[in-house]
Amino acid sequence: MPRVLGIDHGERRLGLAVGDTDIGVATGLPTITWSGKKDLRGRLMAVIDEQGPELLVVGYPLLMDGTRGERCEVVDAFVKLLTGWSGLPVALRDERLTSAEADRIRMEAGRTEKEARAGGLLDRAAAVLLLQNWFDSADRSGLDPDTLPAGRKDDDR
């Protein structure tokens, strides 16, 4: 049963979810809070070693118009590190609206935003939504960043 690890990359936290392709159900894992590449590598590789995924699905933060923004460059750099560290293939997945959906889940759970952020609930929920979306999709190939148009700078609009 091939396992897949879903990753929602944030500036200080990684939301994580795991699932098996045969079952197709994403389950949240504890959120990783990190400070620096060395810390991130150690924590993330421990999860990868424990979970044994054959594929990593990483959220790709496209702008609402479908173009690449500045955050995509950060995720591109993260993916390069990740493939070097793990040697595993990575599929990028459009993550537009997963944060909004995760926030809706937070509100339904009766948690304040502060509580949800402190406990990693929002990051974990975003990773679960991301991976579940990938499982439910007919096309699991992932995005090709080289074919996506760059976003425009605010001063160009």
pLDDT tens profile 25-50: 999 999 999 888 899 999 999 999 99
Average pLDDT, integer, range 129-142: 83
* Entry pTM: 0.84
pLDDT of res. 125: 87
* CATH class of the domain defined by 3-143: alpha beta
- The C-alpha atoms of residue 41 and residue 51 are separated, in whole angstroms, by 15
* Strand pairing report for 27-33 and 55-60: unpaired
In the chain, % of residues over pLDDT 90: 50
pLDDT of res. 25: 95
In this structure, the number of other CB atoms found within 10 A of the CB of residue 147 comes to: 6
DSSP state of 22: T
pLDDT interval class at 153 (50, 70, 90): low
Per-domain residue ranges of the chain: 3-143
CA-closest candidate to residue 61, choices 71, 53, 73: 71
CA-closest candidate to residue 11, choices 67, 101, 75: 75
pLDDT of res. 155: 44
pLDDT of res. 148: 63
| pLDDT tens per residue, range 48-100 | 999 999 999 999 999 888 888 889 999 999 999 999 999 999 999 988 877 77
Average pLDDT, integer, range 107-117: 74
